Amino acid sequence: MKKLYSALMTAFNEDGSVNEAGIREMVRYNIDVNKVDGLYVGGSTGENFNMSHDQKVQVFKTAIDEAGDAIDLIAQVGSLDLNESKELAKLVTDLGYPKISAVTPFYYNYTFEQIKNYYNEIVKDVDNKLVIYSIPVLTGVSLSIDQFAELFENPKIIGIKYTNADFFLLERVRNRFPDKLILSGFDEMLLPALALNVDGAIGSTYNLNAKRAKAEMVAFDEGDIDKARELQKVSNDAISALIANDIYPSLKLVFEEMGVHAGVTKAPMSKPTPEMIAGAKKIYNDYFKD
């Protein structure tokens, strides 16, 4: 069975400080109710790039303290500051995270040799396994199949969080590297990713939508493509509604409707408006209410 990971959100207080109690609630809900296979901690959904170093450390410590070894944990340690990435890689390894991940370095149009050095440096001094976080739509960095091959020459680099709509490249990567871990990162494209034999998926909406996504995986494995297609349609309807309502704060607002105190997003992301709150209530009633 393919694995499903929720991309863990970070609960913030109104003043922008980390709300540890909220993080613990979200971790517990994902373990006890969603029954996901793992959590991706410190990624885009976790608002990692809006956080200070100390806040990142706080989130990593809180998440694993609550989760323990109940599920798989992947810590996203990528940063434009390579020294910070290396420091976080050591920290999370010492905390017990069994895998780390790192976004491709962005903004400065790095050469591939610089990107390769970044990944090799992150894993050089830690006894851990790294999953490349490839998300070209946000980083502007697209890696080719041959560049992935060069990165995979390092035995500590074990796979890809593939958040990319290029399904031709995904098919090529899957077939060239059958033993590498490939996890789909676009929730709205889960079904075509399953068709290309990914090992699982990581996504933000799985915090709310894990049961439907897991049912889709089961339907696909059982050959019931019509059912899988219908489940993907409903998921995509929900995703469209979340995007229209401002997805990051809306994920947290819907979580609140589900009884999970997810806090607020951190500025410069939006704070909830009355219209946004009303929209989130409708999304909850339309797609997630039992």
User: Could you list the active site residues?
Assistant: 133, 161
Tell me the CA distances in angstroms from 26 to 10, 40, 41, 158, one per residue in order: 9, 12, 12, 27
- Quote the distance between the C-alpha of residue 23 and its chain's center: 15
Question: Is 41 within 8 Å of 78 (Cβ atoms)?
Answer: no
What does the angle CA 62 – CA 63 – CA 64 come to, to the nearest 5 degrees?
95
Look up residue 96 and give its amino acid.
Answer: G
- Quote the distance between the C-alpha of residue 27 and its chain's center: 14
Tell me the CA distances in angstroms from 63 to 11, 86, 212, 273, one per residue in order: 11, 19, 24, 29
Tell me the CA distances in angstroms from 64 to 98, 108, 181, 266, one per residue in order: 11, 33, 22, 22
Closest CA relative to residue 58, chosen from 91, 100, 104, 93: 91
CA–CA distance, 106 with 249 (Å, rounded to integer) = 25
- Secondary structure element (H or E) that encloses residue 162, with its range: strand 157-162
Question: Is 195 within 8 Å of 184 (Cβ atoms)?
Answer: no
What does the angle CA 131 – CA 11 – CA 67 come to, to the nearest 5 degrees?
55
Which tokens go with 224? 């019931």
45 is in an annotated binding site: yes
247 is in an annotated binding site: no
Give the annotated binding-site residues for pyruvate.
45, 202
Q: Which residues contribute to the annotated binding site?
A: 45, 202
